[in-house]
Structure formats: C-alpha cells, structure tokens
Structure 1
C-alpha cells in the first residue's frame, strides 16, 4: 500500500483490539528491560496551563513511531484534565510513514494494558477484588479492559464525584460504586489508580497487607503518598521513571534513598526477576508512560485497520 493511512478517533478505537494490545505491550516491556528499545526520554514544552510532550520510539519487530500529546488540566475541575494528540507510525526498515492515528484512545488502552500486566505479574495469586480509582477517560479504559480480560473479577469504582463514578462503572458489567476512595481501597487485592491528581489519593494506612497498586496517573503530581512508596517493592517501565525528573519521570519516585531498587516490569514478565517474592508486602507498579508502549499499540492498530479496511489513505 502506498500513502499514509489516516485513522480518526472512532476508527483508531475500533482497531484497538485490547487482547492484542496487552500482548504487544508485554513484548515492548520485555524489550525495554533487555535494552533492545531506542527511545529518548520524553521532552515537553510547557505553557501556564499544560504541556506538549514528544515521545519517539523504536521496538524491534513492532515498529517505529512518534507521539505528540498535550496534557492540560481543567481549571474549572481541579484534578481533571485531558490528553490529546496523534501518533505517527513509520516503517522500521525504510522509514516510510505508514499511518497517523488518534493518540488519546491509543494512550488510554496501552496504559490500561500496562497497569493490567503489572497486576498480573505482581499481585498475589488468587487476587480477585480490583479497585479502580478515578472516573475519567483512563479509568473508563481500565474498566473496559477488565471487562474484556477479567470479566469475573470483583470490581469497585471510587472517585470524588458519585455521578461520574456511576457513569464510569457502567463500563464493566459487574462493577459497583464505593462511597469513597478510602472505603474502596481498604481490603482490595489490586488498586488501579487512574487519576489526574496533583496530590496523593491513596494512603498507606488504607492498604491491606499484600496489596498490589498500579498507578498510571499523576502527570501533575503524585497519586500515592510517600509512606506507600516507602513500604512497597517498586516496579516501573524504565529506569528513568526514578532517574529522570517529571514529565519523563514519576513524581512518586523522585529522591529515593541511595540503593533503593526500582525493578523493571519487563524483567518480571520475561522471568528474569521473581517479582513480588514471598510474604505480604506491598507492590507498586508506577507507570510514567513510555514510547515503546505507543509503538506496540500503534502496531496493533495499523494491523487491524489494514485487515478490516478502516481509515483513509492520503498522500503525505
């Protein structure tokens, strides 16, 4: 095919086969852990109310892609915001542009995939009670993925706005809405934080022994308090989550004590690290996003779109 395949938001979403995205994201995470990925730290241009980030990346066998994404908060609704942008996919062998697609839906699904992989790898065997903290687009993507991949799980949704929490919970057929975040988190096996928080929304004192937390929000500040981070075994997509300042690195992982280990999730998925180990300690997977995950999801979108005849081809 010549030309560039252009996929609007609806067609990008239609091509996001979530099971294939989970598998592709797992491949990308393993490649990161084995230093097989080329992806410079994310950079961003900042305005008084948001930022525009640039994330190019190459994953052998999945492709070459770059994402431009804006992250802006809503002044009228503190703690809420939006991610908007586009992903360009290129041929990894000759550099031809192959496709241009919506970044918002792609980012939400690949991020939910990483959080789910974190829970699969790090939660205790038999974990059943999943709590999704958040009510926005990322929380809805997480709930849709849980409905597809873990339909029998006990799922609880918690947020500051009961109406929005009910709307988000509709994305999972068995989800219920908690009265508040603390009530939901107490007794959870897995906590999936998907918020635009500027300050912690989960406290250590709420977490039962052995809980796993996947935190994928917090572009503007920490989702987890310092005691949670201090008591947990820490995992991330890449070493820069702790070694680079935000927006590339995680707010929660800045200033860790010397020698504090942050394990790459891909090394657990590959079997190169045991993961949680024995006992009832906390585990935390802190996601900052990584260009390799965008490459993985874009690879799936492009393949599905070609197979199903989605999108419009243009000459660029």
Structure 2
C-alpha cells in the first residue's frame, strides 16, 4: 500500500516559505534554460467559462510532479480569474505518488517567485516597485517582495483604489495609487491581473523600466508597443513558440531569437541587461518545472513538521 501525504489549502500555504521557493524556482529556471527539464507543452480542455490545464514535469534533482489547474473568469468581476486544482508529487525513482497539494496557493507563490527572480536578475537594486492588480496573484507578489526586502517602496495600483489600499496595508512600505500613478514612477512593474487587454500604454512606463507580466491567461496583458520595444525574457522557449494556453498571447508572432531564457541570466550564461538601459519585459506563462520546485519545498516542510494526512492509495 502506498502512503500519500495530503495537504489542504492552509497546510500547502504554510509550507510555501517565500525565500525557499525563490531558491527552488531559480534551480528550476536554470534547468529549463539548459534543456534539462522533461515537460510537454501545457495542454488544456476548454469549457464555456475557462480552461482546465495539465502540466507534468520532471526536474533532475528536484522532483517529478503534475498539476491539474482550472483557470476561470470570476463572475461579475471583469479582469479577475481564479486558479484552482491540485499538484501530485511523485517519487522520481519508482513513480509512487508521494503527496497531493492544493494548487491555488502553490501556483500563486511559485509565479511570484519566478517574477521576482526576473527583477533580481535584471534590476537587482530597484528603488520603486509597482504591483498592478489587487487579486490573489498581486497579493502573493506583494508578500514575496515583503519577504525579500521590506524596505523597498512599493505602490499597489488598481482600478479599485479601496482594494488597492487594503492590499498595500499588508506591506510595511507600500501605498496605493491609480494604475497610471503607480506605473509612471516605478523602475520595476509587476503586472498581476486577469486582463484580456493591455492594462496600461507604453507611454506610462519609464524608458528604463522592467516589466514582469504574469497575467494574460485569457488575452493580452501588455501593450504591443511594449513588447515591440523591449528586450524580452521568458521561462521557456515555448512561451513564444507554442500557441496559447501553453505560450503567451503577447509573444505570438515574435521572432524567437528575441527571447532570452531567464535561467540563462540567473546562472551567468547571459549578461541580462549587461549594464545597458532600456525597457525589459519578462513574460511568464508558468511552467510545470516551477510547480515541481514549489511542491518539493512544501513536501520537505510537511515531512519535517509532521503536517498533512497520510492516505493509503
């Protein structure tokens, strides 16, 4: 009989230590850039209100896992969506199921970690950060920034300034503003929305800004003018080569030669900005390798602390 450790949402969330996930995601991104990860492009079944995606991956030395996640628009709330599902962690040597985790907090934190690694690689000393959005992903991004360095000023920009103020209160150096005010003053902009059309024009960005876009599951989050001008970074080649939902809407038709894999910057094989200014964009599509990394962190924590319910399967 195989004993599977099952963790609910709160237990999964508790095991997602931001700094440990940052480190694990960095390992996964480097492995992706070196071609060491085994993972097919994400597939999805389309339903009237959203999609159900499947993302299996193997990262050498980290683990083997698969995620089933639904991405559905939130009724009555334009620009918002939910990500629900589960992650199954397997033993990479004998294939036994080791754990079942809640995908929602895991996806949010590993996505924030990937976005934050793009900032660390391309703008290692930011002076003012904007987080655009007020939902689950923006909340995870703000928490990640607070764990990394709570002294860097952050502006939370949203269409609903009341919600933006409520989110900003969770960070010791954050304030709320309109989207335009947040973007115009920032050298790093995290776009964390469920938008289906660009959330701001190129004209609002500083000439040397870095934009990290993790939304856009249902359409374009970025202004085409931003994509046309910027030096582009992604987690994996399929971000541009594969059609949505595996690839990014904004990168369809872009010359693959314009894309630099973030992992190549993290391990020093690519200079990133290399001292040059100019606009940069990290376009995240998510990847199963990042789920593997985060799931391994949670599983190690749960075993060390005796958390979870053992189920025979």
TM-score range, shorter chain: over 0.9
SS at match of 1:168: helix
- Residue-by-residue CA offset, 1:212-247 (whole Å, 9 max, x unaligned): 111001101111101100110000000000011111
CA distance in structure 1 between the partners assigned to 2:125 and 2:4 by the alignment: 45
Residue in structure 2 matching 1:248, options 228, 243, 246: 246
| Aligned-partner SS, 2:89 | strand
Aligned residue number for residue 146 of structure 2: 147
Q: 2:181 aligns with which of 180, 183, 196?
A: 183
Using the TM superposition, give the Cα deviation of residue 75 of structure 1 relative to its aligned residue in structure 2, in angstroms: 3.2
Aligned match of 1:223: 221
User: How far off is 1:308 after superposition?
Assistant: 0.8
Report the counterpart of residue 70 of structure 1 in structure 2.
70
Secondary structure, aligned partner of 1:310:
coil
Partner residue, 1:202: 200
Q: Map of 1:150-165 to 2, 5 A cutoff?
A: 150-165=149-164
Q: CA deviation at 1:300?
A: 0.2
The match for 1:275 is 272
Q: 1:293 aligns with which of 273, 290, 293?
A: 290
- 1: CA distance between counterparts of 2:12 and 2:256? 42
Shift in Å, 1:102: 0.3
Please state if 1:307 is matched with 2:288: no
Task: Report the Cα distance in structure 1 between the residues aligned to 2:59 and 2:200, rounded to whole angstroms.
Answer: 34
Aligned to 2:210: 212
CA contact (8 A) 1:147 1:172 kept: yes
Cα distance in 2, alignment partners of residues 149 and 30 from structure 1: 20
Q: Judge which range, 286-295 or 164-173, deviates more.
A: 164-173
- Partners in 1 of 2:127 and 2:2 — Cα distance? 47
Could you give the per-residue CA deviations for residues 278-301 of structure 1, whole angstroms, max 9, x where no partner exists? 332101000000000000000000
Question: Could you tell me how far apart the structure 2 residues matched to 1:158 and 1:130 are?
Answer: 10
How many residues of Structure 1 are paired with residues of Structure 2 in the alignment? 313
1:16-55 superposed matches below 5 A: 16-55=16-55
* Unpaired runs of at least 5, structure 2: none
State the shift of 1:126 in Å.
2.9
Equivalent position SS for 2:87: strand
Aligned partner of 1:266 in structure 2 is: 263
Contact 1:210–1:279, Cα closer than 8 Å, also in 2: no
Cα distance 1:288–1:259, how it changes in 2: closer, same or farther (>3 A)? closer
Give the conservation status (yes or no) of the 8 Å contact 2:237–2:256.
no
Q: CA deviation at 1:260?
A: 4.3
Structure 1 position 255, deviation (Å): 1.1
Secondary structure at the counterpart of residue 55 of structure 1: strand
Cα distance in 2 for partners of 1:69, 1:311 equals: 21
**Is there any run of 5+ residues in structure 1 with no aligned partner, and where?**
none
Q: Which consecutive aligned stretches of 4+ in structure 1 deviate over 4 angstroms post-superposition?
A: none
Q: Give the aligned CA root-mean-square deviation in angstroms.
A: 1.2
Q: TM-score, normalised by structure 1?
A: 0.97
Give the Cα separation in 2 of the matches to 1:16 and 1:202: 31
Q: TM-score, normalised by structure 2?
A: 0.98
Deviations 1:67-98 (A, max 9, x none): 00000002311111100000000000110100
